[in-house]
Amino acid sequence: MKKALIVGGKGQLGRGLAATAPVGIEIVSHDVDTLDITDRAAVVALVEVLRPDVLLNAAAYTAVDRAESEEDAAFAVNAAAVGILAEAARGVGARFVHVSTDFVFDGTAGIPYAPDAPANPLSAYGRTKRAGELAAGDDALIVRTAWVYAPTGGNFVRTMLRLMAERPEVRVVADQIGTPTYAPDLAAALWALAGKGAQGLHHYTDSGAASWYDFAVAIQEEALAAGLLEQAVPVIPINTSDYPTPAKRPFYSVLDKSSTSALLGAPAPHWRANLRRMIAAIRAEG
């Protein structure tokens, strides 16, 4: 690979892709302000001029609850645009790498979902992301992930740090189980898989599993140890039914990463270890 085009370049994964790119690769990054990925003519023209060796799609409509009332808008970005990007990549012989989600599953399995497990999304967001997987094509590398966080951008960790500093207590859902994913490690895994010529569906998250409540408790513990929070506040576990949202979410969406770990030669770090890395990164940045 000599040249890569990243779309969704200003998001936490897009930034991670730019930061972890293999040495010697020319990176061209675009976001919504410079490229409308739903505009077929614009995408095809750009790709034909750049002629990248790999096109990485880190763009997505991620407002899960708003998608319930804006499914057409979510579909345009999460599905139709994926087909446009895949077609454009194919037209110049580029590898296409697309990122999907654990929300394509209904959460009833009770065991980690393998890449070939039947998809049954519960939400508009999940349906549009599943449609995007199909639009990417069999020759694409499609990596499902979950609960992505990074030192910058909007994510659960940064939200919890803010709320824990502002409120006397925080209430967090305890009956949804999944796995956090550190964006820089996800980005590095995408590069590695692309470099190995991987195709089809793969899963990648940090190792381990947690509820949102477990994750929140760990965030507070690590932030206190690092001096990012001055004092602890009660973290109250609640049920999903106590915090109703427009979109239904899977109760259990842990992904089976065993085949990906075999390809990469090692499992991902545990989510708690990566959380500690992120907290350290935030502290280092002041």
Number of Cβ within a 10 Å radius of residue 22? 12
Structure-block tokens of residue 212:
């949102």
Number of Cβ within a 10 Å radius of residue 46? 20
Q: Does the annotation mark 125 as catalytic?
A: yes
Residues near 199 by Cβ (< 8 Å), separated by ≥ 6? Answer: 138, 139, 140, 141
Q: Is the dihedral of CA 24, 25, 28, 31 positive or negative?
A: negative
Backbone angles phi, psi at 84, to 5 degrees: -65, -45
Q: Is 261 helix (H, G, I), strand (E, B) or coil?
A: helix
List 125, 149, 213, 252, catalytic entry:
125
- Catalytic annotation, residues: 125
